Amino acid sequence: MIEVDELVKHYRATDGSVVRAVDGVSLAVRPGEMVGLLGANGAGKTTTLRVLATLLRPTSGTARVAGCDVRTDPIGVRRNLGYVSATTGVPDRLTPREILLSFGRLHGLERDGLKARVERLVDVLDLGSCADRPTGRLSSGQRQRVSVGRALVHDPPALVLDEPTNALDVVGSRDLLAFLSTLRADGRSILLSTHRLHEIEHRCDRFVIVHGGRIVAEGTRRDLVGEAGELEDAFFLAVQAAAGTAP
Amino acid sequence: MSTPRPASALSAAAASAVAVAGFQIRRLLTRPRLLLAGLGMLFPAAVMLAVRGAAPVPLGRELTVTMLYALVPEAVCMLGLLVTMCPVVADELERGTWIHVAVRPGGRRALLLGTFLAAVTWTSVVAIAAVVAALAVSGTSEPAGLVVMFAALVLVSTAGRAALFAVPAVIVPKRALVASVGVALVVEFLCGLLPAVVNQATVSLRLRSLLANWMGWRRNLPAEIEMLVDPAPAWVHLGAVAALVAVLLTAAVLILERRQFPPSEEG
């Protein structure tokens, strides 16, 4: 379960001014649910996800993962959350198997159980053919699958993904999103941000549209789009209305 | 999918730090880094050969030891640590790996302690090889005892200074190299040479004092030089460096645990 309540995050810019990156966002992702967080660049998506991942501290409001508060129990949050970013950040010189083992050890997992877990991930993520090749020689899709494996190595009940399909081609994106659907079916809570609305239009259970650090629309695809039309149209309408430029 | 059980807290923390150390040593095995290590190993021997060739009389044991002390536990160790310890956070931010380490339960602590272990191991190996090479060309009699003594000095130097450089590395990651050079100049060389209480907190005082102690020089030192060493027994100096390492690493871990990096600071 992921819960965000009246989350506010301000930064101090280099010129001394205060940037309100997130300004009162509230959302919840239940177990077995996949929610899409949509917004233009600078809307506050990444900041929201990074507060959930304990990379940034909230200015006010609360954010919880599996009941653990990011402010009072960041270690609990980290135990229960898998985080995937657009930049895979996988070390070029290590192999997928070595990366999964190393990050499993960062979670303090026991050696034998960890090995079995890594082999299972290599199998599930279809990394068998490249598991012992340095990741610098892998394709973007394979690197992103390693990144997803790294986020799943401790078997977290919640997943946060920040533009995970950015560097992927159509096939890679489709495979990744299909895999995320299986994780949702396992009962995990999944919150993902993306700019590629058409990819997740029929995959997510609900959508949250943010603009200027605030939620401007939310609901199921049907709530936002109606019977006809596309999510992209609903997104533009919501953002333009919030910006005061609605047609 | 079954979840492996977590190990006990202490063994998990140690395993995490060792995992990161292995990770960092693998990263150091690149051609440029190996070339730099090779230069570090051969540079003191080259200086020793040059001095030996230019000197009208054979170098005495004391002069050889003094030169080697300045070249290895001071110069080679310091330069090696600037390359291996200073970029502990900056490299991760640049490579985009920071966020993936920082979202693990003990990730930040493991990153710092693992990099500390890797920096100390890598630099010590280079420095001890440099001692062996320099002594081999120096013509000093009975070099084995000197190798053991210098190996101990190298370990004290690398551990103490890696911990010292860890602090600027977590406070100003992107300017860690410049800040660490400043810290080395002000703390290690300026404060370390002041005959005042402040030099008690420096690694350089402990190293000089250990050298004077182990070489049996204390009784013969001129009064001016005597002020620059501490007559306490070796175990006091070793304990002082161990305490300094513990305090500095704890401070660095605490700072790193609280550090926030907005997305704009990465990449």
Q: Helix (H, G, I), strand (E, B), or coil: what is residue A67?
A: coil
- For chains A and B, CB pairs below 8 A equal 120
Interatomic CA distance for residues B75 and B64, integer angstroms: 15
Look at residue A81 and tell me if it is in a domain. Answer: yes
- Assess if residue A139 is contained within a domain: no
Alpha-carbon distance of A131 to A124, in angstroms, equals 12
Measured CA to CA, the distance from residue A65 to residue B162 in angstroms comes to 36
Distance (Å, whole) CA B86 – CA B174: 9
Q: Is B265 on the interface with A (CB under 8 A)?
A: no
The answer for residues whose C-beta is within 8 angstroms of residue B162's C-beta and 6 or more apart is B81, B84, B85, B116, B119, B120, B123
A93-130 core/surface letters (b: 16 or more CB in 10 A; e: else): ebbbbbbbbbbbbbbbbbeebbbebbeebbebbebeeb
A246: pLDDT strictly greater than 60: no
pLDDT digits (tens, 9 = 90+) for B39-70: 999 999 999 999 888 877 777 888 899 999 99
Query: At B263, phi and psi to the nearest 5?
Result: -50, -30
For residue B15, pLDDT over 60 is answered with yes
pLDDT for residue A227: 66
Number of domains within chain A: 1
Q: In B, residues 93-152, which contact A (CB 8 Å cutoff)?
A: 95-107, 110
Position A245 confidence tier, pLDDT thresholds 50, 70, 90 = low
Report which residue type is found at B154.
V
Q: Please judge whether A102 and B267 are an interchain contact, meaning their C-beta atoms are less than 8 angstroms apart.
A: no
B210 close to B155: Cβ distance less than 8 angstroms: no
CB contacts of A110 in chain B (<8 Å) are: 4-7
Q: Evaluate whether residue A50 is within a structural domain.
A: yes
Give Cα separations from A9 to A48, A159, A211, B99 (angstroms). Answer: 8, 21, 14, 18
Q: Are A104 and A118 in contact (CB under 8 A)?
A: yes
- Residues A124, B1 contacting (CB under 8 angstroms): yes
Cβ pair B262:A11 closer than 8 A: yes
Q: How far apart are CA A71 and CA A61, in angstroms?
A: 10
Is A32 part of a structural domain of the chain? yes
Q: CA-to-CA distance for A237 and B256, rounded, in angstroms?
A: 43
Interface of A with B in 5-34 (CB under 8 A): 11
Q: In the numeric block, which tokens belong to residue B207? A: 């190293």
Residue A114, both tokens: 């960890």
As a whole number of angstroms, the distance between CA B24 and CA B74 comes to: 23
Cβ contact, residue pair A117, B4, below 8 Å: yes
Which residue, among B3, B29, B103, would best test binding to A if mutated, counting the most A CBs under 10 Å from its CB? Answer: B103
- The mean pLDDT value for B4-12 works out to 65
pLDDT in tens, B97-134: 888 888 988 889 999 999 999 999 999 999 999 999 99
Q: What is the 3-state secondary structure (H, E, C) of B80-107?
A: HHHHHCHHHCHHHHHHCCHHHHHCCCCH
By the 8 A CB rule, do B50 and B92 touch? no
Name residue, tokens 């986020």.
A151
| CATH number, position A224 | 3.40.50.300
Quick: pLDDT tens for A33-79. Answer: 999 999 988 889 999 999 999 999 999 999 999 999 999 999 999 99
Q: What is the DSSP string of B234-246?
A: HHHHHHHHHHHHH
Q: What is the pLDDT of residue A20?
A: 86
Residue A79 in domain? yes
Specify if A128 maps to a domain.
no
Residue type, A72: T
Q: Angle B100-A208-A196 (CA atoms, 0-180°, nearest 5)?
A: 65
Q: Angle A111-124/A140-152 helices, nearest 10 degrees?
A: 140
Residue A109 in domain: no
Query: Which pLDDT tens digit goes with each residue over A209-223?
Result: 999 999 999 999 888
Chain B residue numbers touching A107 (CB-CB < 8 A):
6, 12, 104-105
| CA–CA dist B130, B40 (Å, integer) | 7
> A7: domain range?
2-90+157-243
Query: For residue A2, which of A143, A191, A181 has the smallest C-alpha distance?
Result: A191
3-class state of residue B248 by DSSP: helix
Tell me the C-alpha distance between A122 and A119, whole Å. Answer: 5
Minimum distance, in Å, between the CA of residue B118 and any CA atom of chain A = 15
Burial of B53 (0-12, 13-18, 19+ CB in 10 A): exposed
% of chain B exceeding 70 in pLDDT: 94
pLDDT digits (tens, 9 = 90+) for A94-153: 899 999 998 888 888 888 888 999 998 898 888 888 999 999 899 888 888 899 899 999
- Chain B within 8 Å of A103 (Cβ-Cβ)? yes
Evaluate whether residue A47 is within a structural domain: yes
Measured between CA atoms, the residue of chain B closest to residue A93 is: B27
Token reading at B256: 């790193």
DSSP A13-47: -TTSPEEEEEEEEEEEE-TT-EEEEE--TTSSHHH
What is the C-alpha to C-alpha distance for residues B240 and B254, in angstroms, rounded to an integer?
A: 21
> A149: closest CA among B15, B1, B111?
B1
Mean pLDDT confidence for A181-200: 91
Residues of chain A numbered 105-124 and touching chain B (CB < 8 Å): 105-114, 116-117, 120-121, 124
